[in-house]
A and B are shown apart, each in its own frame.
Chain A
């Protein structure tokens, strides 16, 4: 009962933190961390709502389980794109200088 409430409020506070990070931090890795923190907060809200004390709703659990794997895949893709753009950008700059 109170447990749900604690973690629901925590998740929303985490969401706010992540949102601020997404808006205000310039570095791409920090932005990705912020997005991941927002993802964690959404998972926490889902699981806190699924927990009814004695009975536990398995459907949100299954959703979160798939969500975690998809989140890590998306993060990896973003990271790869960032790394590639950085490499291309650098090559261009190097050739411009020469």
Chain B
């Protein structure tokens, strides 16, 4: 192995190009968000604006209250949701990982089916509003994302492959209950997979706008992505409405500036980009996938 201590330069070049390809679009929207409106109309989008203008960000700061609030909602939902989700998902995965768990095959199938069949929008809405009465609460934003079958299986696979059963066995011979085994032995040993799934969940919550659209009617509880979606979509939507209703779209005055949309996109991406490097080191270890039957 000694002779291979340096990376092949061809590989390095491939990866540098690959990384650039992934970063460049973000750079482009960042630069558009910093461009002046007239320069945009004249010269188009470019990687280095001819005229810098912070008007989009100034506008965002000026109208900061709703953005900050939606930011707060997003963070709250993401933090609580991710914590509860990890607990519930890993607990289910723990039971499923135990070969001696009665009916584990049936329960596995029960979980698997949800991966192939989902709920429809309307019945799903009815369950949440008529049965659980969660509309217009933060629960409506949290509960839908709590458990994903895919995550259960990833965690389950990690438990069966990376935690020696003898460890569980000896703990239980020492008189540890299942709960203590789970909390004191399994969880501390599973940081890589929990970090990985945690990041998925964080991203899932952070990027979710649809639940907000469906269940939230008060702007106090809008999350950031919905706020962003709304700004982006309103512009597109109003254009078509204006044609049909014979009204002037501009007079509806929700038409945001190009650079404002881009600035909002940047703001939405930022937190994910920031939290990402801290969790990234667990990724490779945590992401092992095994068959459902286990």
Q: Do A and B come from one complex?
A: no
